[in-house]
């Protein structure tokens, strides 16, 4: 295949969540091309299961797709924060439930073609009622569904968020269903 290497990286935009770069790549035969690269600080998500077996989901408006999206609770890593701590923090912030125990399910890169965002996904069925503590620019509603309903939502196109799809299907597989 030959070696491909980055020979230059220029910062185009420094954002709150992401940084956008223009990478100059070198290919075999000294050919070059410019590629877009988005650097992301990383994130975590969690599948919260209540005592009745329902999964707590969040519905929020997503500007990139210009519509509301039904998702598992998730958010970006704070500086120095590990994924598990982030997932537990986001659970309480977004849903008003907290936990003292979460199990790792999987890690995934969201869009490998141009972004390094990696999300650690966890699950918990040890929920304690707490208080929702949304960021000032977050508007989230809480909804509860059975695992079967969520799987149907995935295959009917109601859920189209990659981390949620991967998390729900991995959780279903973990249960052996």
User: What average pLDDT is seen over the chain?
Assistant: 95
- pLDDT tens digits for range 27-62: 998 899 999 999 999 999 999 999 999 999 999 999
Q: Which of these is catalytic: 136, 138, 148, 149?
A: 136
Does 177 score more than 90 pLDDT? no
pTM greater than 0.75: yes
Identify the residue whose tokens are 């999987």.
106
- pLDDT tens digits for range 93-116: 999 999 999 999 999 999 999 999
Beta-bridge mates of residue 18 = 40
Does 134 score more than 80 pLDDT? no
What's the pLDDT score for residue 133?
Answer: 78
| Residue 3 a catalytic site member | no
The strand order across the sheet containing 140-145 reads: 67-71, 55-62, 140-145
Tokens of 53: 């077996």
Whole-angstrom distance, CA of residue 53 vs CA of residue 11: 46
**Which backbone phi and psi does 89 adopt, to 5 degrees?**
-65, -45
Residue 46 neighbours by CB under 8 Å, 6+ apart: 72, 73, 74, 87, 88, 90, 91, 102, 121, 122, 123, 124
């Amino acid at each position: 295949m030959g070696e491909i290497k980055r020979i230059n990286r220029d910062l185009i935009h420094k954002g709150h969540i992401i940084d956008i770069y223009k990478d100059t790549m070198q290919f075999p035969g000294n050919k070059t091309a410019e590629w877009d690269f988005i650097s992301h600080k990383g994130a975590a998500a969690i599948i919260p299961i209540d005592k009745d077996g329902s999964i707590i989901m969040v519905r929020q408006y997503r500007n990139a797709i210009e519509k509301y999206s039904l998702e598992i609770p998730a958010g970006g890593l704070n500086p120095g924060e590990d994924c598990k701590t982030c997932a537990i923090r986001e659970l309480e912030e977004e849903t008003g439930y907290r936990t003292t125990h979460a199990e790792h399910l999987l890690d995934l890169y969201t869009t490998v073609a141009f972004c390094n965002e990696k999300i650690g996904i966890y699950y918990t069925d040890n929920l304690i009622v707490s208080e929702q503590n949304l960021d000032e620019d977050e508007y989230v509603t809480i909804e509860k569904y059975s695992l079967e309903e969520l799987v149907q939502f995935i295959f009917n196109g109601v859920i189209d968020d990659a981390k949620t799809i991967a998390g729900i299907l991995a959780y279903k597989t973990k249960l052996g269903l």
